[in-house]
Amino acid sequence: MRKQVAAANWKMNLTYQQAEQLITDIINTPHTLAAHQRAVFAVPFPYLTMVADKLKGKNGAAVSAQNCSSYKSGAYTGETSVEMLQSIHVEYVVLGHSERREYFHETSQLLTDKVNLALQFGLTPIFCCGEALSIREAGTQNEYVANQLKESLFHLSADDLQKIIIAYEPIWAIGTGKTATSEQAQEMHAHLRSALANQYGQEVADSISILYGGSVKGANAKEIFSQPDVDGGLVGGASLKADEFVQIIQGLK
């Protein structure tokens, strides 16, 4: 079975003390992770080592950075390299989140460079893709999102591609009042898996976890995750509440 992943994206939220309390509350709320399940915490840079320390000895739980530099090292003030992340035992890094693409103008080529560096230093990229409302309304979402994969990932070997987790974000359904159904999530996930199969073969495509990043909550997690091509979620706001995120973890199949 593919890895089933509940990934928390705390974004730019919480003080150190609040973050420490949240991860403590999540750890102390009863839940279990099966061998094929993972709970990943993408936390702000200042909290990486604290959260990693809290998760020590917790099977299936790991810490993730929310971003990294496209440069290996050098005179890039304010940036954080993958080598730095590796040196503090960070296992995952979120790349290409819709907010990074929109607000910081991250391009497919920039993301290619970040993916390459992450893999070079042994980090697992959680690669985000997704379409805005205008693209969804134009009916071109399938081609648009598949092209995001093609432009940033399809240069990889099959072995390297299988080291990546993909997260689909329906940007049009986040904070807009519009809701994506579990069927819409499944439709896009199946399309992405088909695009992977066309490039790398069905066996490779079937091995890759594809997460859903559209307003997952405790109340809808189990239904969304039950879809055959949905392998968990990349969770924003709901990951800032301990009981809510634990409920999402429990929704994994």
pLDDT tops 90 at residue 175: no
List, as one string, the DSSP characters of the chain: ---EEEEEE--S---HHHHHHHHHHHHHS-----TTEEEEEE--GGGHHHHHHHHTT-TTEEEEES---SSSSSS-TT---HHHHHHTT--EEEES-HHHHHHS---HHHHHHHHHHHHHTT-EEEEEE---HHHHHHT-HHHHHHHHHHHHHTTS-HHHHTT-EEEE--GGGSSSS----HHHHHHHHHHHHHHHHHHH-HHHHTTS-EEE-S---TTTHHHHHTSTT--EEEESGGGGSHHHHHHHHHT--
Q: Which of 97, 99, 106, 131 is catalytic?
A: 97
Of these residues, 106, 169, 189, 244, which one is catalytic? 169
Query: Is 97 designated active site?
Result: yes
Domain ranges of the chain: 4-250
Residue-level pLDDT at 1: 85
179 pLDDT exceeds 80? no
Contacts of 152 (CB under 8 A, 6+ apart): 96, 108, 109, 111, 112, 115, 127
Taking the domain 4-250, which CATH number applies?
3.20.20.70
Angle subtended at Cα 39 by Cα 82 and Cα 128, rounded to the nearest 5 degrees: 55
Tokens 């709970």 — which residue? 39
Q: What is the per-residue pLDDT for 174?
A: 78
Backbone phi, psi, residue 78, to 5°: 90, -5
User: pTM surpassing 0.95?
Assistant: yes
Q: Does 244 qualify as catalytic in the annotation?
A: no
Residue 77: phi, psi to the nearest 5?
Answer: -55, 130
Tens digit of each residue's pLDDT (9 = 90 or more) over 37-84: 999 999 999 999 999 999 999 999 999 999 999 999 999 999 999 999
Q: What is the pLDDT of residues 102-153, one digit of tens each?
A: 999 999 999 999 999 999 999 999 999 999 999 999 999 999 999 999 999 9
